[in-house]
Amino acid sequence: MSVLTLSRPALAAAVLLALATRGEAAPPLLHTLPLQAPAPETIQSLREDATLLVLQAGAFDPLRERIAFPAARAAARADARYGIVQYRAGQSAAARAAIARAGAEIVGHLPNTAFQVRGDADALARIGNAPAVRWSAPYPAGFKLATGLLDGSVAARHAPSGRVALEIHGFRGESIERLVDVLRATGIDLGIGTRAGAFDLPSVRVDVHPAALDALLLAASSIEGIAWIEPYLPATLHNRDSVGPIQANQASCTAPDGEGACADGLDPARATLWRRGLTGHGQIVAIADSGLDRNEDWFAGLDLGAGPNIAITDADDPAPAPLATGATYPDRKVYAYWVQPGASAYDNNQFCEAYNRYHGTHVTGTAAGDAAPYARPGAVDYTDGDGMAPGAQVLFQDLGDDATGCLSIADFGATLAQAYAGGAGIHNDSWGNSSGGYYVGHDVRADAALWSSENLLVVAAAGNSGPEATTTGSPGNAKNVLAVGSTRHGHLTATSAFSSRGPTMDGRRKPDIMAPGESIVSARGNDDNGAAVQAPQTQALSGTSMAAPTVTGGAALLRQYFGDGWYPFGRATPRERSEPAGTLLKAALINGTAPISTNWPSHNVGWGRIWLENSLYFQGGTRGLRHWVRDNGAGLETGDVDTFPVTVAAGEELRVTLTWFDPEAALAASPALVNDLDLVAVAPDGRQYLGNVFHAGQSATGGSPDRLNTVEHLRVIAPVAGAWTLRVIAHAVPGNGRPTSHRQGYALVVGARMGVLGDRLLADGFGADDTPGVAAPASLQTTGNGEEGVRIAAQPVAGADGYQLYRADGSCATADPGRFRFVGQSPSATLLDTRSQGGAAYAYRVRAVKDGAEGPLSHACVDVVSADACSMSLNFDGDSLAAASAHATCTVGLSWQPATANCPGKAVAYRVLRDTTPLFTAPQVVATVDMPAYSDTDVVDGQPRFYQVEAFDEAGNTTRSHIIGTTPSGTGSTGAGVWTDDADTRTNLQQQWPWSITNAAAANGSFSYRSAPGPAYPADTCAAIATVPLTLAAGTPQLRYAARYQLESEWDGVVVELSADGGATWTPLVPAGGYPGSFAQTMDPPVNACGYPASQSAFTGESAGFAAGQFVQISHDLSAYAGQGVLVRWRLSSDPAMQAAGFYLDDIRVDAELPGTCQAGP
């Protein structure tokens, strides 16, 4: 179906939706702005103006300006079910509440202060009138197109005979299959490719001939539910001499040559983390790449302490489809081998833009390869070519198609979720597309996956498109991903010419970190995939593909540091073992980097080269380490501030790093930042430093807070000794509509010489028995539990000058010891957790602090079931509300499907609201009930009443149903006559959403029934409005009514049907003179939602006099059913594409028995 050929001028004119501003009064004329993407260097300043929408297409105040979209590519209409709600500065919470009260939902966020919202038109109208809302409008089609599509540059790059590849994204929660159906229904010659849908983010890849590109853009941008259309860019593939630089910031040998190579091999003394026993054991590293030659010795042996286990791991057959996991082998080097959809097992040297050269094998070797003699816990028996974490295990996810050599990444979010579910804590991605700094589909999926999982770190190659600016690729452009650029070989610090540079197109700093990426010697694969272990061979490759796994291997050592309990005492302490959050790994890596350029930090080198030893503390060292990690569930809300006192001594630089995993952004947004935290440090002399304000390589006073990045950093080379104050400020945390996304967790890492005397391990060091100088609290008790939060009192510890509170889900008996995370602190032994969810069970532990250094986590633990408030929304089918109004005693019986609470242990109840008008201008609460039913006896025969039900839980969360109307009557019959329903004096029709009563048009009186909740009926909808049971008169009974309709001709329609068996079966009724059309254009199988075949006649197209507001009179002969009990319904069926004003129904008259009169109750 091509929506371009179906709309007549009158239809088009009626369907075009103007951006109806609400809130502040708008000027009579909007100033038109040209299509112009904001330059990266301007976006930081644009963020300061809360009145602006800042999108890829341009920055503008929607009350005063609009963007001129090209009419040939962007449909001149807006969605009926989706809208934009711009909230006033600082009013995100109030706006979220207004959206929830209206029965709508948030599906995304747009900068600076707007939500993408899904709901019916009535809900959107109510939202627009909320005090917190500045402006709202239906979602414009032009906002759905990437800049390169709007300006025609994508089409210009394709030869007339080529095909243009696109990725089309739906709004969160839309059906991927519906997207595919609607695109097929356009009638445009499309190639339909892979689909994605993890984390409720639907998308499909298509290709189209360049001559049809504009037609597709015009059609697809008009489709309800489509959120974004962008060019699809195929992914392309993007060690000894690296050991010393990344571990100790020195060459791997005493005398490297001029190219940074160590001809005589690695000097083990320079592998400082390996010497301490950090080899990667216990860590599972996921690698998604072209394939793995798994029978090479690099990947066949694993020594967990009991001697080597030599085993080859074959790819699962059949492969587990993400999100499912497959077979795992805890005692093997290759822990799992899972082929991704569209790929084939093992590595190859096929040509896809370039020869692969067994890319995945080399990458895996760089990260974790280990040839005999194998690393064992605590020691590395180094073989030239071993990886950075030779003791780590590999979960391999094969992306390579051996037939073509190209990569197949169907759903990157699902791939990440599969790896995390399989046990991986780090994910390496040495591939990407050349997105030119834009935030695209892979980035969205990565951000959603990392925000959801929190404990996974994704390391991605920045790309090989340098040396120009804004050349970083995706998924490295994701906010939450650690993007890696390349330096030259070994200890050489120059940036590789090929390494992609930042900033991103929305001004963010990328790459994040650097590592050696030239002439990296690692595992070499071949085509022998047999069952025998092959001798290890090496080859040298260059690229950010090689730099990324160098960082991944280093991150595995870092993760082992926390996992083996080296923090906080600088030595392995089993009871301090923890599972580090991905934010902590990212922050710790950045906190320790080596500045490798005079212009640091920069968009060329990010935060510098990885330097692991500087990221960690080891017993006896002078440079200390502190960190605090909040999970998102315990995160900050807008306006919250966490304050951390830190005592800093002279002699080492002070570095502070704040990172957070931000919810995924809307693809139209620019910048991509949703939740904005700020880092502030106040020195003992009162000087204040803001995160990311630098001059000459160190933090400077003054400047403005960063409004773009999810990494904020401070570096003071010669800090003033004394008490520093660090603050993490939640500047704006609106969330993107995902549950709890209005709370933002983070990791804060501090590296400095700590304490009054500069001794990280307390001023008096360890005691004579080698125990920490400050003990753990011996006992804990709950002293408060309510709306203030959970208050825990610890037994005071001698010498402690502060305490930190940690929380894990579950009970002390069941909570994972490694999952206790920071939730609060206090100078006293009484601490408060203000971020509990009412009804949830938690376990709490406490750590004492002395002279800026932490003592052990308490053995003492206390269980609490929170009595705090819970803000999780209810599940409620508001469309299930129904009414029965025929009773001897005047009564309206209401019923609905039960709601369920998401807050633990919270009961649900219902408020029944009633009004005398369908506009529901002054509803009154007539009852509060515990069950999903209510009988209203305060009604009068023949007087219409209108109802809505509000479900609420004990925590105060609410959601509402749609509005229905009904007219009380009696039972039995007063004899034959004309049964009427005019939506004014009588309202008895039973309405399925989106049918409703409207005052937009009427044949008589003020109201009529309509198949649309707003400007247009919804797409892909099958819904009916039906009479109550009627007994037809004898003889030749007739059905008569007035109608006015505008429906997509021959695709959408309304069919009138009759049931003579109580609704079990239905028969179409043909009106006098016949229907004006049919579903002739529907496909086989039909694409209309009710499934009517092409032969089914229907009301379709536009009724006579529609533009003038006229109704037509229609009748049906019901003689065949004379004297029988019947139901009559008007049934709307729409397809997924274009919609129009819908079907208006009024003045219904049926020759039938008239209902009796009900009697007033006592």
- The predicted pLDDT at position 772 comes to 66
Domain with CATH 2.60.120.260 in the chain: 972-1162
The pLDDT tens digits of the residues spanning 819-862 come to 999 999 999 999 999 999 888 899 999 999 988 789 999 999 99
Q: How is residue 126 written in tokens?
A: 């109510």
Residue 480 predicted with pLDDT over 90: yes
Determine which one of 61, 120, 289, 401 is catalytic.
289
Average pLDDT over residues 325-346: 96
Pair 693, 510: CB distance under 8 Å = no
Q: Quick one: what percent of the chain has pLDDT higher than 70? A: 95
Domain with CATH 2.60.40.10 in the chain: 776-868, 872-964
Average pLDDT over residues 362-381: 95
Determine which one of 109, 238, 359, 1116 is catalytic.
359
Per-residue pLDDT band for 771 (boundaries 50, 70, 90) equals low
**Which of 348-352, 380-384, 886-890 is modeled with the greatest confidence?**
886-890
Overall pTM > 0.85: no
Residue 401 predicted with pLDDT over 90: no
Q: How is residue 108 written in tokens?
A: 């995304």
- The predicted pLDDT at position 77 comes to 72
Burial of 1145 (0-12, 13-18, 19+ CB in 10 A): buried
Domain with CATH 2.60.120.380 in the chain: 624-769
Catalytic residue check, 880: no
Residue 543 predicted with pLDDT over 90: yes
Q: Which CATH architecture has domain 157-231?
A: 2-Layer Sandwich (3.30)
The pLDDT tens digits of the residues spanning 1082-1104 come to 988 888 989 999 999 999 999 99
CATH of the domain spanning 776-868? 2.60.40.10
Please name the helix (run of DSSP H) or strand (run of DSSP E) that holds residue 1045, with its range, or none. strand 1038-1047
Catalytic residue check, 545: yes
Q: With respect to CATH, is domain 275-579 assigned 3.40.50.200?
A: yes
Residue 160 predicted with pLDDT over 80: no
Q: Quick one: what percent of the chain has pLDDT higher than 90? A: 73
| Residue spans of alpha helices (H) in 91-158 | 92-101, 121-128, 147-150, 153-156
- The predicted pLDDT at position 240 comes to 56
The pLDDT tens digits of the residues spanning 891-920 come to 999 999 999 988 887 899 999 999 998 888
- The predicted pLDDT at position 159 comes to 57
First-last CA distance in the chain: 60
Q: Say if strands 862-865 and 892-895 run parallel, antiparallel, or are unpaired.
A: unpaired
The pLDDT tens digits of the residues spanning 571-608 come to 999 999 999 999 999 999 999 999 998 889 999 999 99
CB 827: neighbour CB atoms within 10 A? 11
Per-residue pLDDT band for 75 (boundaries 50, 70, 90) equals confident
Cα gap 833→78, rounded to integer Å? 45
Average pLDDT over residues 385-412: 92
Q: Which CATH architecture has domain 624-769?
A: Sandwich (2.60)
Cα gap 463→1108, rounded to integer Å? 59
Domain with CATH 3.30.70.60 in the chain: 157-231
Per-residue pLDDT band for 161 (boundaries 50, 70, 90) equals low
Of 4 and 948, the one with more pLDDT: 948
Classify residue 1155 by its DSSP letter: E
Mean pLDDT for the chain overall: 91
Average pLDDT over residues 958-964: 88
Nearest CA-CA partner of 226 in 119, 82, 109: 82
Pick the CATH number of 972-1162 from 3.30.70.1280, 3.40.50.11540, 2.20.25.90, 2.60.120.260: 2.60.120.260
The pLDDT tens digits of the residues spanning 434-477 come to 889 999 999 999 999 999 999 999 999 999 999 999 999 999 99
Pair 953, 1130: CB distance under 8 Å = no
CA distances in angstroms from 435 to 217, 384, 524, 923, 1037, listed in the order given: 20, 36, 29, 52, 67
- The predicted pLDDT at position 21 comes to 40
Pick the CATH number of 872-964 from 2.30.30.60, 2.60.40.10, 2.40.50.140, 3.30.70.600: 2.60.40.10
Catalytic residue check, 1135: no
Pair 173, 118: CB distance under 8 Å = yes
Average pLDDT over residues 182-190: 88
Please name the helix (run of DSSP H) or strand (run of DSSP E) that holds residue 554, with its range, or none. helix 544-563
- The predicted pLDDT at position 239 comes to 62
Cα gap 844→112, rounded to integer Å? 38
